[in-house]
């Protein structure tokens, strides 16, 4: 949980944060948290900001950026019935298959909502509760995403917006509406539509801050809570990715790559998610499950160094790692879809058999995974000209250069590192004052020129060769051909 206090006139910010873990002791693939810990963390962060003298009485608007795809179910007293199943919960693959089959197969399902149905999406989580916890299921009166739940806590209103709703698996992204067809496939007997929140537009307020919360936090009685959105949608706003030509790449625990579009971008292969954004446009997005998961595994397993020391280690190895490649499907993978996949190391020989080489191979391997998403987006018609790099990995100079080299595009990171939180604050300003989002983002999102870099042409051939090997491995693990644009690369490898 991170709470960012942002002053748009001075373009300055200060934040407070709290960490919390997953519920322990669950079976493999199950990832859950209780919504109450989000509320507790929110309260603690606001108390900390108040103790530091932040003028909370000057707050005009609040925007919430939330982890996508999570399932929060409430009873008739508006209390959570069970812990939230999260975006990285992969226990629902069987339910995904049931839903897709009930709608008439994958092509019919994709034509209905514009997306495929990976295990992380919300739809299969609802059916999982029905299949495995029937006593809990019959008590469900409200179905919310994590950011919807926080908005409900803040306002007492149950609302949803198109950006975050796009990742549920029961939202028609072309027409921005709930899909009765998919909801009926999840449960033909229960009226699930009546359990869903009211849809509002991205520039519309979810409601006013509850009077009791405003009094407790020392805020005014007319504070507006904006529609908010998913963390990827807010990350797009916070990185200025609200117009064509800009692509955001996030190097976090997982990796995401997305770019603004004025029209829906539907991937017939289902690898790119056809999301709406949170400004009224669309945000086609690719997601890989293993980014800093892989680099941290190597850093913690083979080194006793901080991140700066790990950077120096990676930088000591030549680009391309002398042919050593790590395919980082450690916990399975979402793009390409290899839910049961594992990591693969190829090119091990005496000269590369060292932790230093494995360190660079890990950093390059996860970047290759995101390059796969770039190529898919390009094949679907997007034409990115510049990357906005965000997430923890974006702080690494050597990793920034690797991304620029592998993607063959220039990049820079925003000065404000709180991308999704800043995006939520910007959207709140848009909701309070109106105006043009493109202008607001252009005036508010400043790039850190020290992070700017472009591709090193001397490395282009090395990385193209390595990427061809990556694709060959990916094809072998998926047991199916990768998309056509890659065929010539694989043939050459």
Tokens encoding 439: 């202008």
Question: Where in the sequence numbering do the catalytic residues fall?
Answer: 231
Per DSSP, the residues of 43-88 read HHHHHHHHHTT--GGG--EE--EE-SS-BEEE-TTS-BSSPEE-TT
At 175, phi and psi to the nearest 5? -110, 0
At 206, phi and psi to the nearest 5? -70, -30
From 323, 319, 351, select the one nearest 473 (Cα to Cα).
323
Residue 209 to residues 118, 170, 231: CA-CA distances in angstroms? 35, 29, 21
Any idea of the CA torsion for 240, 367, 284, 172, to the nearest 10 degrees? -130
User: What is the rounded CA–CA span in Å between residue 287 and residue 230?
Assistant: 14
Task: Give the H/E segment covering residue 149.
Answer: helix 146-155
Q: What is the CB neighbour count within 10 angstroms for residue 369?
A: 26
Q: Are 206 and 151 in contact (CB under 8 A)?
A: yes
User: What is the rounded CA–CA span in Å between residue 251 and residue 257?
Assistant: 9
The alpha carbon of 290 is separated from its chain's Cα centroid by a whole number of angstroms, namely 12
Residue 152: CA count within 13 A, CB half-sphere: 23
Q: Are 45 and 83 in contact (CB under 8 A)?
A: no
User: What is the rounded CA–CA span in Å between residue 389 and residue 405?
Assistant: 13
Helices (H), 397-478: 397-407, 419-433, 437-444, 460-478
The alpha carbon of 28 is separated from its chain's Cα centroid by a whole number of angstroms, namely 22
Q: Are 63 and 155 in contact (CB under 8 A)?
A: no
């Amino acid at each position: 949980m991170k709470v960012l206090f942002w002053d748009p006139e001075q373009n300055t910010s200060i934040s407070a944060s709290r960490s919390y873990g997953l519920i322990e002791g669950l079976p493999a693939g199950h990832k859950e948290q209780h919504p109450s810990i989000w509320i507790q963390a929110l309260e603690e962060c606001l108390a900390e900001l108040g103790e530091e003298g932040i003028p909370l009485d000057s707050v005009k608007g609040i925007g919430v950026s939330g982890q996508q795809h999570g399932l929060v179910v409430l009873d008739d007293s508006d209390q959570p019935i069970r812990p939230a199943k999260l975006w990285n919960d992969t226990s629902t693959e069987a339910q995904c298959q049931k839903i897709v089959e009930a709608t008439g197969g994958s092509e019919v399902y994709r034509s209905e909502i514009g997306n495929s149905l990976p295990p992380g999406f919300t739809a299969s989580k609802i059916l999982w509760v029905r299949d495995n916890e029937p006593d809990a299921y019959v008590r469900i009166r409200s179905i919310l995403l994590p950011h919807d739940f926080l908005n409900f806590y803040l306002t007492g209103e149950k609302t949803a917006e198109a950006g975050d709703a796009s990742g549920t698996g029961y939202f028609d992204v072309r027409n921005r509406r709930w899909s009765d067809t998919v909801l009926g496939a999840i449960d033909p007997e229960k009226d699930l539509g009546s359990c869903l929140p009211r849809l509002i537009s991205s520039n519309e307020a979810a409601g006013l801050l509850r009077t009791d919360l405003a009094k407790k936090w020392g805020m005014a009685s007319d504070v507006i809570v904006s529609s908010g959105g998913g963390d990827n949608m807010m990350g797009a706003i916070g990185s200025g990715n609200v117009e064509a030509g800009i692509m955001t790449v996030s190097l976090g625990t997982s990796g995401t790559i997305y770019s603004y579009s004025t029209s829906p971008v539907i991937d017939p292969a289902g690898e790119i998610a056809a999301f709406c954004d949170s400004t009224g446009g669309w945000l086609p997005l690719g997601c890989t499950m293993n980014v800093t998961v892989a680099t941290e595994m190597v850093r913690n397993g083979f080194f006793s160094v901080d991140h700066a020391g790990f950077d120096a280690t990676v930088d000591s190895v030549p680009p391309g790692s002398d042919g050593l490649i790590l395919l980082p499907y450690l916990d399975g993978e979402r793009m390409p879809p290899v839910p049961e996949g594992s990591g693969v190391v190829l090119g091990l020989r005496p000269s590369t058999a060292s932790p230093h080489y494995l360190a660079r191979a890990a950093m390059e391997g996860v970047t290759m995974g995101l390059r796969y998403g770039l190529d898919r987006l390009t094949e679907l018609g997007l034409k990115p000209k510049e990357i906005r790099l965000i997430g923890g990995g974006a702080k690494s100079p050597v990793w920034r250069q690797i991304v620029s080299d592998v993607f063959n595009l220039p990049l820079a990171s925003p000065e404000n590192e709180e991308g999704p939180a800043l995006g939520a604050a910007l959207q709140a300003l848009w909701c309070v004052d109106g105006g043009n989002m493109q202008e607001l983002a252009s005036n508010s999102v400043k790039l850190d020129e020290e992070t700017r870099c472009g591709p090193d042409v001397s490395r282009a051939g090395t990385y193209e060769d390595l990427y061809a090997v990556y694709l060959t491995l990916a094809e072998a693990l998926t047991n199916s051909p990768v998309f056509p644009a890659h065929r010539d690369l694989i043939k050459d490898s």
